[in-house]
Amino acid sequence: MISSITLRVNYSETDQMGVVYHANYLVWFDRARTELMRETGLTYKELEQRGVYLAVSEVRIRYRAPARYDDLVQVRCWVRELASRRVTFGYVVERAATSELLATGETSLVSLTHQHTVTRMPREVLDLLKPIPDPVRI
């Protein structure tokens, strides 16, 4: 499964040069990841109610072309790797009108308890998060 969201770049997301500030891509990744979870049938809220938190432990982004104010961008997200205590998501950010590649990335998240200790993800969560081959080169 690959989820996709479309966003319009806000003025507040850009720097003095009119280019999207690099840290905003992390926010976009988070939004796309949240939608992917929702599309699997399990929201973050429901997961946390089950006593499991997913905490970002690693991030990698490769910027390829600038996104600018008022651009429509598409952010796609998928599961790259899955282990009992960790899930890695892949991302691609493209200009919506042309599919121009703007950025690629990945985040790894570890499964934590409410006491912030590492724990196994519940079997039903592992069953919902199916890794797929990368649709683009990360």
- Full-model pTM: 0.94
N- to C-terminal Cα separation, the chain: 17
pLDDT digits (tens, 9 = 90+) for 93-112: 999 999 999 999 999 999 99
**What are the catalytic residues?**
15
Structure confidence at residue 117 (pLDDT): 96
pLDDT digits (tens, 9 = 90+) for 113-132: 999 999 999 998 999 999 99
Instruction: Give the CATH class of 2-128.
Output: alpha beta
Q: Which residues contact 129 (CB under 8 A, 6 or more apart)?
A: 40, 79, 82, 87
Q: Where are the domains of the chain?
A: 2-128
Structure confidence at residue 91 (pLDDT): 98
